[in-house]
Copies of this chain bind each other. A is one copy, B any other.
Amino acid sequence: MQHTSEALRLEGKRIAFVPTMGFFHEGHLGLIRKAKEIADVCVTSLFINPTQFAPNEDFTHYPRDTARDMQLAEVSGCDYFFNPSSEDMYPHRFATSIIVEKLDSILEGQVRPTHFRGVTTVVAKLFNIVRPHCAIFGQKDFQQLVILKRMVQDLNMNIDIIAAPIARDADGLAMSSRNTYLSADERRTALSLSRSLLSAKTAFEDGERNPMLLQEIIRRKLDEAGIYKVDYIAVVDSETLETLETTIERQDAVIALAVRIGRTRLIDNMILKDSD
């Protein structure tokens, strides 16, 4: 792959990269189509990265269908499909990690303390192998986006990190490979995630600037839906991830949440922006 990419660069081709863990839904395919739109060559990787899962998490059960993914990637415009093995990525004596301090220990990092170290390390490896000019990530993992932008800037990687809007089912549920874990009942319950975020967003657009009140709107809606296992509901600065506690002054805030429904952990978020 590295050889191919270096040759493409020497030909002056612009490479867009979509790193994934596979089991594609419309969200992934949208990233691939966007990549093909903005560059000459689209590279997609499929690697279910063991180091970003904690021992108690769903690595072994994470859904897989590589043959289908390859086909879907191709029809969506992917030129190169990179699918390394764990042994290729983490050979004997592997010892290196990249950490992005502070940003990696809040929100998701509080519940998943080693998660982002796994993400930044594997993404840096993939970047060095694929040598893209730009890489596209979904806004759904918005903390991941912030951390990867930080890493790229701090380490002087010459790569544009591009955020793509969250892809949602018609009823509003944010697409996720993990939605496959949900029973029909649980899926119905999960609709309260996007609906509660939308209520808060509407309140914001109507002028509500108190983060605590916006969080309260969400908490009540989740409660009504019977979701009591809430890891966090947070209103944060979209660049620094600093919690906004008293008022939302800047226009780029994000309201984010993580909950558990049955055995499944789901996240969702919305950008709070004045529509002027």
Contacts and interface: CB of A to CB of B under 8 A. Distances in A.
Contacts of A265: none
A99 interface: yes
A98 B95 contact: no
Interface size class of A (residues with CB under 8 A): 20 to 34
A134 to B, nearest CB: 15
A68 to B, nearest CB: 28
Interface stretch (A26-34, A59-67, A152-160, A168-176): A152-160
Contacts of A202: none
Contacts of A96: 98-101, 120, 150-151, 154-155
Nearest to A124: B155
Contact of A101 (B12, B97, B102, B157): B97
A144 to B, nearest CB: 14
A125 interface: yes
Interface in A1-35: 2, 6, 9-10, 12
Interface of A: 2, 6, 9-10, 12, 93-103, 120-121, 124-125, 128-129, 150-151, 154-158, 240
A60 to B, nearest CB: 24
A11 B12 CA distance: 11
A240 B92 CA distance: 12
Contact of A158 (B6, B95, B100, B154): B6
Contact of A12 (B10, B100, B156): B10
Contact of A98 (B6, B9, B98, B150): B98
Nearest to A157: B128
Contacts of A240: 93
Contacts of A120: 96
**Could you say which of A94, A96, A100, A157 has the most chain B C-beta atoms within 10 Å of its C-beta?**
A96
A128 B2 contact: no
B150 A95 contact: yes
Contacts of A129: 156
Contact of A156 (B95, B125, B151): B125
A2 B129 CA distance: 18
Contacts of A101: 95-97
A155 B100 CA distance: 16
B10 A154 contact: no
B95 A97 contact: no
16 contacts: A2-B158, A10-B10, A10-B12, A95-B100, A95-B101, A95-B103, A95-B150, A96-B101, A96-B150, A96-B151, A97-B99, A97-B101, A98-B99, A98-B155, A124-B155, A128-B155
